[in-house]
Each structure stands twice: as structure tokens, then as C-alpha cells.
Amino acid sequence: MPVNFIPTPRESLLPVQGISLGVAEANIKKAGRKDLLVIAIEDDAAVAAVFTQNRFCAAPVIIAREHLASGKPIRALVINTGNANAGTGEEGLSRARAVCRELSALIACTPTQVLPFSTGVIMEPLPVEKITAGLPWCVNHLGKGDWFDAAQAIMTTDIVPKAFSKQVSIAGQTATITGIAKGSGMIHPNMATMLGFIATDAAIAPDALQAMLRHAVAHSFNCITVDGDTSTNDACVLIATGQGGARVSSASGDDYAALRDAVTEVAANLAQAIVRDGEGATKFITIHIEGGKSEAECRTIAYAIAHSPLVKTAFFASDPNLGRILAAIGYAGIDDLDVSKVQLYLGDVLVAEKGGRAASYREQEGQRVMKESEIVVRVVLNRGAACATVWTCDFSYDYVKINAEYRS
Amino acid sequence: MPVNFIPTPRESLLPVQGISLGVAEANIKKAGRKDLLVIAIEDDAAVAAVFTQNRFCAAPVIIAREHLASGKPIRALVINTGNANAGTGEEGLSRARAVCRELSALIACTPTQVLPFSTGVIMEPLPVEKITAGLPWCVNHLGKGDWFDAAQAIMTTDIVPKAFSKQVSIAGQTATITGIAKGSGMIHPNMATMLGFIATDAAIAPDALQAMLRHAVAHSFNCITVDGDTSTNDACVLIATGQGGARVSSASGDDYAALRDAVTEVAANLAQAIVRDGEGATKFITIHIEGGKSEAECRTIAYAIAHSPLVKTAFFASDPNLGRILAAIGYAGIDDLDVSKVQLYLGDVLVAEKGGRAASYREQEGQRVMKESEIVVRVVLNRGAACATVWTCDFSYDYVKINAEYRS
């Protein structure tokens, strides 16, 4: 079960003026589950997006980039689960285009005004007939929407739907922000997570919106890892409909900062939900590196710890086998790291300093922290002022089970 | 159990003239098991060594480097299992020195003529009294030796001892080479493996010997990974006693090449034995990348595949979920990789090309190869002439079990 995940109740998810949602059961991989989502966007909205850096990026990622670059206003997103349409070559591109064409006919726009997204198994042909057969249901049932249903419709190995809402006051006007995300395995986002969709009713210019999304992603989806595998389908979209009263006029100033921080909070909440629902996860681990020369080196060390199977299995076992963390710091590739200056804390307990175990450290203190389900690992490098935080989970029997049986 | 591991019978392990071995049960971590080894070297031998690049390198690694740099002929190696003496700060250094001092007194040399090696749990104090209490037994029982016993005395989570012998003719004289190694987890050697000790009775100058060791390690221990964790204690030593008739006069020419290739064969055999005995391994996987621009990019892609938990769990399940391999190729970080040119073969089966599944591919063909216990993954990049090979194993429930319970 997800680690200390507090679901947002359906009734707490706020509609976003200018956004309609439609969900269908299209039998894409399994019968009787929601697996197709249309997010319709009223005219004059600004849409920003970031995508995976994986070279084997999926066909929908290529098409979505193409359609965004065409410069026409985006009128709809279409998202299917059950099939990633990745590693599918030319045929995959034409199938993703067919889905956009079909939806554009139903909502009276051009195909380039539709962005496609897919998630699920890689290297299988997209069942385009099932998707197009499901689209009329989505379009006929478009409504201000049940974001909870929408979050359910994009799940793969996720146990829980992930959705979050927030309101913030901008110059006396309320801006509403609601977002959904999915992801549980193949999680080491590089520019974006598996799939995240966030909408606000505030008005903001496209350039400022894109800057805001980059900031939000850098402090949320790009700070998490489950297994170190960067997906072929990562994408995160931020939509600003401008249909509420709030307006942000540029990419700086107090109004911008207020909206940016609220969007970032929604994104961070969704990103952490992905880790809490990480495949087989039993613990939620925050890795905070401070006193580094640069944020980059802090992130490198944090990810070395977060990706180590030995560290992750020790967390699973609640075993304070903390030498494994020192080893990961040591092999992270920081050539001039002076290990005699490094301090390692587990929760509030100083574990190691001066190249070895701290004189004050007692095994039962480490054991106490390791038994908790929320653990903070803090590493002080004592060589600069930079810091970075990464969120991850442990590595359990169930991770192996889930991924050994994924396609069966 | 190890994957298709063919043990070298005790009687096939050849003594190396000029080398004596002594093994003791010193109760370092558990009672009743061989855990201490002394390798005594007669005068005039050349000794080459390579060590881990982990910044948190262990105390014995620091001391061994120091003693090698002192330039005095090395007279003995002392290796304990059960404790890595890593992450132990100043106290760890003085304990490693105490072990060298004690052994040097017993064999009448100076402490700098002794190289110490440790393997086992990290960040626990080295039980130096138990080791020094065991040394007299080792020294009193030194003999031409049982290399099989020696291999057993350095095991940690290894299921099988790893040892191999080979003879090669150099200008009409026979050179004998025998080596042992240990390792099963925390295996992603960076310049050397956990621990490897190889001896030959050939005569060769120290500089040529060091070059030979670098070559052998680059084509053996530096081509393997179990879990991507680079150890704090990696070390590999090559000893040339010069007590047989074979002589190699320089670091080039046919004689050098003959001895180098034989040493490399011993090292590769030991390195592959480590992967076959990888923690929880059920399959032995060879990943061969060809058609790359450089060997470095081929190795980067090979390791991205070999480290992916998703790829490794799919191998464990015999599930040809081969999109996971494409994803790993895609996120390996080769920015200008044209994925439409990449070909992926599983055994003799062409799986993917032109950015997607090959038209000729049939799932049952992939299934057939995945069910085997020896699997070759071949990736053709079609952008150059370089290649690289990495050996790894799958990721099973038992890997999690072994590492969750390691200290209990």
C-alpha cells in the first residue's frame, strides 16, 4: 500500500473554469476500467509543456511537441493508459496522429490543436480502433468535471489516483489550480514525470507560463526517483485558461511568484504522491544534501544514494546498514570530495563524520529511525553553500514481483 | 544457486612457484569458517595492483597504496573477510597498520612490505585482536598451497569459491597462472573488483606487470556489474614471482602478449564467476554493444541496460518485455543517438529496428531466448566501429532477501 498517502477527497478537487473532462472505458488493455481521458480547453488558454529527455521517446511525445510548435491554440488533450505507443516507429506516429484527427473532428478543431499522451506497455501497437471508439463517449460526457475520475483514468500500476487542488489570491482575485498525475514505476523523470496535467483559471502569457512550469517541475517531478529508469513517455502540461479573475502580467513580480509557488506546491504534492505509491514501496525517504559546491553535485550525490539497490533494500529491512550510504556518496563521482569532512545524519541522529562512525552514534538510535515509514537522510558536505533534495522509496520483494509479472 | 558455474576442481588449481598460502578460522564474524588468508611472496617478485575509485575507500586500500608507493619489495598479503574496515576513519587506518605490523614480525620483514585487504560489513570497527590471534596459525601452516582453501577464506555472500589456473608457453618455457576472487553483491568495479589475487611464476618487470594488470582488469573485472554499487574495498593484485623459467622482458612483443592474454583469461574467468554467483542471480546476461562512435559510449549504453531494475526483473521473469531495453538505451545519455538506426537482438532474434518492433519479430521467439539461463543482448548502433561487452545477472526476490537480511 502507498506510504502515508493522504488522498484528496473527490469533493475537495476544485473545477477549473475553462476546462472540461470526459472519461471512458475503452477496453485498451483490460475491460471494465477507465482508460481514456479527454481534457477539453476553451479558447484563449495558454498551454505549456515539458517532455522526457529519453531518446527513445514515444510517438505521442513527438506528435505533441510538433503540435505545440505549430503555434495554434491547443483545444484538447487526449490521454490513454494501457499502451505507451513507445518503441513503435513510423506506425506509432501515424496511430497517434489518427487519434488526434478523430478527436479534432468530434470537437470541431484541427488535428494540430490536439495533444496526445499515452502510458502503459512499451513496444506494442497502439489499439487505435478501441481509442477512437471510446472518444465519442468522452466528448458526449464532457463536464466541468470530476478530476478524481480523470486521475483514475490515467493510472497504470498506480494503486491510488493522484490529484490535488489549491487556491491562491493574486491581487485580490482567487486563482484555482488543480492537477493530476500518474506514475509508480519507471520513475526517474528527466524534465517531467510520467504524466502530469495541471490547470489554473488564472490568465498568464505563454512564455511566463512555460517558465513557471519549468520552475515547478524542477522542484517537484525532477526531484523524485523510484527505480532510476527514465520513461519514454514523461510529460507534464500546465494549462492557464484565464477564465477566473486572476491575472499575472509577466514572468516576475509578486503576482507571478504567488501563482508559481502555488503551482509548484500542487506539482510537489503530486510528485511525492508518485513516490509514496512507488512500486512495492514501504517507506518514503527524503534525501537532503547540503554544503555542496553546486546544486548539481548535491543532486548527483542524492541520486547515487536514491538509486543504490543496497541502500534501498537496507531501508526495506529497517536495517541501519549505513556504510552503504557512505559507499554511495563515495562512488557518486565527485572526484575532489574530502570524505573526512562529510557528515551523515539519519533523521536527527549524527551517524558518521571524520570518515567513519560518529563517536556519539548508537546502533539503537539508528534502528529507531530506520523503523519509521518517513525517513530523512541528511548529508552535510561542508564544502560550499548549495543544497538539493530528492524523494525516493525503498526496494522490496513487491517491486520485483510487480515488475516480473507486469505483462502477465 | 550460481548460474551455470563450473567450479575448477581443487586438484586442477596449480601451485605457483614462489607463493605460499596460509588460511585460518579467526572467528571474525562467524565461528567455524575460514576467514583469514596470508599470501606469502618470496623475494624478488614484482607486484602490481589496482584499487577502487570510491572516495570512501577503505582503510586497507589507503594503507596498501601507501605501502606499494614506498617501493620496498612486497613480501605478503593479508586478507580478512567478515569486516571491510571501511568508513572507519583514523581508527580504521591504525587497525589496518596493526595487522601489517603483526604479520611483518611473524615473517621477518618490515610492515610496509605487507599489503592488507578486508571485505565484509562497512562502518564496523575491525576486530584486530581476532585477526592478530589468527595470524600465527596462517604463518605456521604456510604451504605451496591450496588455492581452493584460499578462495574459500575470502568469501562473503559468495555461494561458491572462485579460482582458476592456466598455463601458457613463453619462448618454450611454461608460465603458470593461478588466481582467486570474491564478490557477489556491491559489484560494479571501477578499476578493480571486490578482491582478486592472481599470481604467476613468470618473470616480468614491475612497469610491464602493472600495464598487464590494467589490460586484464579492463577486459574482465571492469566489465561486470551485479547491482551498480561500486565497493569501498575493490582491489586486484597481480604477482609475478619469476620463480618459473618463463621471462617477459618488456611491455610489448609476442611474449608479453602471450602472458597478458593468459592473465586476462584468468581474470575474465574470475570476473564472470562473480556475476554467475551474483546475489540472487538466476541468469547470466552478456550485453554486447557494437557500431558505436567510441568504446566509452558503448559501455555507457551497456551499463544503462545492465543497471536497469526494470530490465533485470524482466529477465528474472523470462518476460520478453523488450521495450524496457529500448527505454534504457534511450536514457543512457547519448544526446545525438538516432534511435531509428538502432537494432536490438535477443540472442539470434532481431527484436527492434527503425525505432520500433521488427516486422519479422514474433513474441514466441523472444520468449524462447528469455527462458534460457545464458542470454546475449546485442545492440547495433550503426554509427561507428567501436564496441563493448558487459556481463551482468538478473534481479530476483533473493537479491532483496539477501540484502535485507545481510547483517542479521
CA distances from B99 to B23, B36, B77, B102, B239 (A): 15, 12, 11, 5, 21
For residue B124, give the chain A residue with the closest CA: A357
CATH class label, B284-404: alpha beta
Residue A250 and residue A101: Cα distance in Å, rounded? 34
User: If contacts are CB pairs under 8 Å, which of residues 261-300 in chain A contact chain B?
Assistant: none
pLDDT band, residue B191 (cuts 50/70/90): low
Task: Specify the amino acid at residue B175.
Answer: A
Give the pLDDT of residue B72. 93
Q: CB-based contacts of B253: which residues, under 8 Å, 6+ apart? A: none
For residue A353, give the chain B residue with the closest CA: B89
Interior CA angle at B75 toward B71 and B77, to 5°?
A: 105
> Is A310's CB within 8 Å of B403's CB?
yes
**Better-scored residue on pLDDT, B2 or A368:** A368
> Is B407's CB within 8 Å of A90's CB?
no
The CA distance from A344 to the nearest CA of chain B, in Å, is 11
Please say if the pLDDT value at position B145 is more than 80: no
Beta strand pairing call for B203-204 and B247-248: parallel
**Residue B238: beta bridge partners?**
B48, B198
> Is B340's CB within 8 Å of A406's CB?
no
- Ordered per-residue pLDDT tens for chain A, 408 residues: 788 888 889 999 999 999 999 999 999 998 899 999 999 999 889 999 999 888 888 999 999 999 999 999 999 999 999 999 998 999 999 999 999 999 999 999 999 999 999 998 888 999 999 999 999 999 999 998 799 999 999 998 888 999 999 999 998 999 999 999 998 887 787 655 678 889 999 999 999 999 999 999 888 888 888 888 888 888 888 999 999 989 999 999 999 999 999 999 998 989 899 999 988 899 999 999 999 999 999 999 999 999 999 999 999 999 998 889 999 999 998 989 999 999 999 999 999 999 889 999 999 999 999 999 999 999 999 999 999 999 999 999 888 888 887 765
Instruction: Using a CB–CB cutoff of 8 Å, tell me whether A30 touches chain B.
Output: no
Per residue in B222-275, pLDDT tens? 888 888 888 888 888 899 999 998 999 999 999 999 999 999 999 898 989 999
> Is B357's CB within 8 Å of A87's CB?
yes
Give the pLDDT of residue B236. 87
Instruction: Using a CB–CB cutoff of 8 Å, tell me whether B190 touches chain A.
Output: yes
B54, HSE (Cβ side, Cα atoms, 13 Å)? 35
What does DSSP assign to residue A143? B
Per residue in B163-181, pLDDT tens? 999 999 998 999 999 999 9
CA distances from A171 to A137, A202, A258 (A): 40, 11, 10
Task: Specify the residue for cell string 569532512.
Answer: A341
State pTM to two decimals: 0.84
Mind spelling out the 3-state secondary structure of chain B? CCCCCCCCCHHHCCCCCCEEEEEECCCCCCCCCCCEEEEEECCCCEEEEEECCCCCCCHHHHHHHHHHHCCCCCCEEEEEEEECCCCEHHHHHHHHHHHHHHHHHHHCCCHHHEEEEEEEECCCCCCHHHHHHHHHHHHHCCECCCHHHHHHCCCCCCCCCEEEEEEEEECCEEEEEEEEEECCCCCCCCCCCCEEEEEECCEECHHHHHHHHHHHHHCCHHHEECCCCCCCCCEEEEEECCCCCCEECCCCHHHHHHHHHHHHHHHHHHHHHHHHCCCCCCCEEEEEEEEECCHHHHHHHHHHHHHCHHHHHHHHCCCCCCHHHHHHHHCCCCCCCCHHHCEEEECCEEEEECCEECCCCCHHHHHHHHCCCEEEEEEECCCCCEEEEEEEECCCHHHHHHHHCCCC
Task: Specify the amino acid at residue B131.
Answer: I
Give the pLDDT of residue A220. 87
> Is B330's CB within 8 Å of A55's CB?
yes
Residues of chain B in contact with residue A317, where contact means CB-CB under 8 angstroms, are: 403-405, 408
The CA distance from B242 to the nearest CA of chain A, in Å, is 36
To the query of whether residue B193 is one of the catalytic residues in this protein, the response is yes
Whether the CB-CB separation of A334 and A297 falls below 8 Å is answered with: yes
> Is B400's CB within 8 Å of A316's CB?
yes
The CA distance from A211 to the nearest CA of chain B, in Å, is 23
Task: Specify the amino acid at residue A124.
Answer: E
Residue B11 buriedness (CB in 10 A; 0-12 / 13-18 / 19+) = exposed
Phi, psi of A162 (to 5 degrees): -120, 115
What does DSSP assign to residue A220? T
Does the domain spanning B10-276 belong to CATH 3.30.1510.10? no
Residue B96 and residue B105: Cα distance in Å, rounded? 15
Per residue in B327-359, pLDDT tens? 999 999 898 999 999 999 999 999 999 988 999
What are the extents of the domains in chain A?
Answer: 10-276, 284-404
Give the pLDDT of residue B56. 87
Q: Could you tell me the three cell numbers for A324?
A: 552503504
